[in-house]
A and B are shown apart, each in its own frame.
Chain A
Amino acid sequence: MTAAVHLRPRLTTTTAARVLRQLRHDHRTVAMLLVLPSLLLGLLHLLWADLPAAPGQPGTFDRVGLTMLGVFPFVVMFLVTSIAMLRERTSGTLERLLTTPLSRLDLLLGYGLAFGLAAGLQAAVTVTVATTLYDLDVAGPVWLVGLIAVVDAVLGVALGLLASAFARSEFQAVQLMPVVVLPQFFLCGLLVPREQMDGWLQAVSDALPLTYAVQALQEVGRSPEATGTMWTDVGVVAGAAVLALALAAATLRRRTD
């Protein structure tokens, strides 16, 4: 693909810096990105705080809260990215960028890098608040939770970039969120353990990347050290993100009607 041939790392970082600069001018969005996941997690904490856990099992908040640390960045970054990319399209800046030396992959990687960094900051805040204020119990190292959250966010960015190709308006883009996110959330093993699902539902669940993100977080929650399963899961999520980015680059047309 020509996009790959003309890849220029400097233009990728320049574009990421530009996206972050745009974000920085929008103080309220930055505040929401950093604080909202912690507040929502606090609500879950209050919801389950007084509920006794089954003997030998992790408490409900420990189980669900940990999973949400992976789900929040995925959902938020999907939404933010699909809207940001749609704005590029509707404002004409995308058309202009496509006439400059910036390649399509440079542009998409720039977005991935920018929102990946934003997600890192978000994860740092949320994980810190969760483990200190809400006493979230994690057996494994906390930095691994942060890493998985960032990889989830990058997956959200990649799918958001891809989804924006199928949305002509903000109304459509926003509605793609439940389409992409909810089935993955329902089938990821949080609501019903994957072993108890119908065979075909389990097969669908196997094909959805969020399943692996949740499984990776559960591994970190259970074992004091990083497990092979966890790394495989992280690899699958990262692979899905790369695939989605490649598809997004392929669906991003230089020439349009």
Chain B
Amino acid sequence: MDAVTVTDLVVDRGRRRVLPGVGFTVPAGQVTGLLGPSGSGKSTLIRAIVGVQRVRSGTVEVLGHPAGSPALRDRVGYVTQAPSVYADLTVRENARYFAALYGRGAREADAAVADVGLASAAGQLVGDLSGGQRGRASLACALVGDPEVLVLDEPTVGLDPVLRVELWERFHALARAGTTLVVSSHVMDEAARCDRLLLLREGALLADTTPARLRADGRSEDLEEAFLNVVRAREAVAS
């Protein structure tokens, strides 16, 4: 079953066409990586999936409903690229507020804070935390709703390698429990951690693949190099 279906999606930002007509599906219960360089349209695509992006044409369906529709509000979690939590509240207060919005209690909030490794910082103001901690606080505020679809925009930027590995383990644990994850990243070495890969470049979908298939198609064990080979092959065909 597909959790997300994007069809002929066209998005303009200002006068610039950011997505010229993208289509793909995201299977349920897997980690799908949205990989591409900065400015390739990843954030725009993610915003379209959570229903806050104005779109020119095309459709985005999540769990069988149009993206952003009221039926989805407590089933889809969204973690923005910049940590979107209240700097003048403590980690615990942030988690409890978002928990309340999703109809959950203080216990679930505290559990979500512990899940991202911030239990010892729960009483600290978010504004006093490091960038990485803030990002995790932001993540806790999405996990607390126990969403069926979790959409994360570059969640591992600025995290130390140990934390990054831990987060990816958490993502896979969630997927094993049935959660669908869409994770964007501009770092190709994170592609290896995804079940599925969507490669985006200048708003166009270059490939809808898996890490294994990308290695085969790009004739390299190194995913970055494989990606480059695929891009070059495309450009050679185009010219």
Contact = CB atoms under 8 A, between A and B. Distances in A.
A96 B74 contact: no
Contacts of A102: 101
Nearest to A25: B88
Contacts, number: 81
B50 interface: yes
Contact of A95 (B84, B98, B125): B84
B53 A255 contact: yes
A92 B103 contact: no
B68 A254 contact: yes
B152 to A, nearest CB: 12
A21 B76 CA distance: 26
B100 A14 contact: yes
Interface in B73-101: 73-74, 76, 78, 80, 82-89, 93, 97-98, 100-101
A100 interface: yes
A18 B52 contact: no
Question: Interface extent on A, as a size class?
Answer: 20 to 34
B18 to A, nearest CB: 10
Interface string B12-44: 111000000000000000000000000000000
Contacts of A253: 54
A50 interface: no
Interface string A154-174: 000000000000000000000
Given A91-B84, A255-B54, 6 more contacts: A14-B100, A18-B86, A93-B85, A95-B47, A99-B50, A101-B73
Complex A-B, nearest 5 residue pairs according to Cβ-Cβ distance, in ascending order: A92-B84, A255-B54, A101-B73, A14-B100, A92-B80
